[in-house]
């Protein structure tokens, strides 16, 4: 069974810093990997989706990479802002169309 | 609609009662997923609908849980004889196709509290 792990569980950084969030998965047989953010009391907002054949995707200050063979993905956030404070979740889509989610990284950006 | 909607946003019930949670997916999305998010836990897959195909119920934790999707659109998740461990946020997501590369779009969730 696929297991998705996110490290660290929590991260606190001063405003303006660049940071990296990590996601690892145990089975490389995935269709894609998606990064989400979740604000308190809210649903999930999709940030980036990387196909299994891709190595990275970029959107604004966000860059996500995927190394399928090693079972790893990173989400890079440049020039962090207080508005980036949220929980970040990664999820992999596997054969059978199920998604497996990590437990998330809680990010706090200090003004 | 503009996005996935869920109702109610909050539900408090007594142990042993039945509850129904509703999800309205994005118009035209053929795939619909239900997840459960318990405090401090990741998202737990519950059930998946794709078009008119039989749903994938492999994630339902017990036979007290059931879901249906009427007309390929609105879905209802029913929990019978609720238990305290059912307390969680229930999230619904939809996707335009059950193809390999399509994104999931999530609703705001229903927070269920079983007293």
The percentage of chain A sitting over the pLDDT mark of 90, rounded to a whole number, equals 86
Which residues, other chains included, contact A91 with Cβ-Cβ below 8 Å and sequence gap of 6+? A4, A33, A34, A36, A99, A100, A101, A102, B43, B104
Residue pair A105/A10 in contact by the 8 Å Cβ criterion: yes
Residue B18, pLDDT score: 98
Report the alpha-carbon distance of residue A68 to residue B25 in Å, rounded: 31
Contact status of A101 with chain B (Cβ, < 8 Å): yes
**Mean pLDDT of chain A, nearest integer:** 93
> Does the CB of A94 have a partner CB in chain B at under 8 Å?
no
Cα–Cα distance, A53 to B47 (Å, whole number)? 27
Residue B98 forms contact with A (CB below 8 Å): yes
Q: Is the pLDDT of residue B52 over 90?
A: no
Beta-carbon neighbour count of residue A5 at 10 Å? 15
Reported as a single tens digit per residue, the pLDDT across B28-37 is 888 899 999 9
Q: Which of the four pLDDT bands, split at 50, 70 and 90, describes residue B14?
A: very high
| Min Cα–Cα distance to chain A from B17, Å | 24
Chain A nearest-CA residue for B111: A41
Cα–Cα distance for residue pair A94/A29, rounded to 1 Å: 7
**DSSP SS3 for A83:** helix
The Cα A50–Cα A11 span in angstroms is 24
Q: Are strands B110-114 and B10-13 parallel, antiparallel or unpaired?
A: parallel
**Does the pLDDT value for residue A95 go beyond 90?**
no
Q: Does A36 touch chain B (CB under 8 A)?
A: yes
The pLDDT value recorded for residue A99 is 85
Q: What is the mean pLDDT of residues B80-85?
A: 96
The stretch B40-51 carries a mean pLDDT of 86
Which candidate from A46, A51, A103 shows the least CB-CB separation from B104? A46
Question: Which residue of A43, A100, A104 is in closest CB contact with B108?
Answer: A43
Confidence of residue A97 (pLDDT cuts 50, 70, 90): confident
Encoded tokens for B67:
């879901």
Phi, psi of B86 (to 5 degrees): -80, -10
Residues in chain A: 111
CB contact set of B55 (below 8 Å; sequence gap of 6+): B47, B48, B49, B67, B69
CB half-sphere exposure, B32, CA atoms < 13 A:
32
SS3 call for A84: helix
> Testing the interface with A: which of B3, B45, B100 to mutate, by most A Cβ within 10 A?
B100
* Per-residue pLDDT reduced to its tens digit, A55-78: 999 999 999 999 999 999 999 999
- Over residues A36-45, mean pLDDT: 89
């Amino acid at each position: 069974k696929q297991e998705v792990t996110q490290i660290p569980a929590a991260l606190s950084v001063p405003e303006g810093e660049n940071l990296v969030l990590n996601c690892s998965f145990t089975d490389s047989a995935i269709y894609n990997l998606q990064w989400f953010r979740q604000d308190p009391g809210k649903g999930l907002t999709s940030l980036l989706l990387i196909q299994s054949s891709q190595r990275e995707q970029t959107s604004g200050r966000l860059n996500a990479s995927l190394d399928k063979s090693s079972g790893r993905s990173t989400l890079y956030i440049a020039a962090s802002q207080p508005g980036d404070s949220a929980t970040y979740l990664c999820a992999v889509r596997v054969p059978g169309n199920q998604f497996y989610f990590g437990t998330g990284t809680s990010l706090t950006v200090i003004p | 609609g503009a996005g996935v909607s869920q109702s109610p946003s909050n539900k408090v019930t007594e142990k042993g009662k039945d509850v129904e949670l509703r999800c309205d997916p994005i118009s035209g999305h053929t795939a619909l997923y239900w997840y459960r998010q318990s405090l401090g836990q990741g998202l737990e897959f519950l059930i998946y609908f794709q078009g008119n195909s039989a749903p994938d119920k492999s994630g339902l934790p017990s036979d007290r849980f059931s879901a249906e999707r009427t007309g390929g659109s609105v879905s209802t998740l029913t929990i019978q004889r609720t238990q305290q461990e059912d307390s969680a946020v229930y999230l619904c997501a939809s996707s335009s196709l059950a193809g390999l590369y399509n994104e999931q779009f999530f609703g705001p969730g229903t927070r269920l509290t079983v007293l």
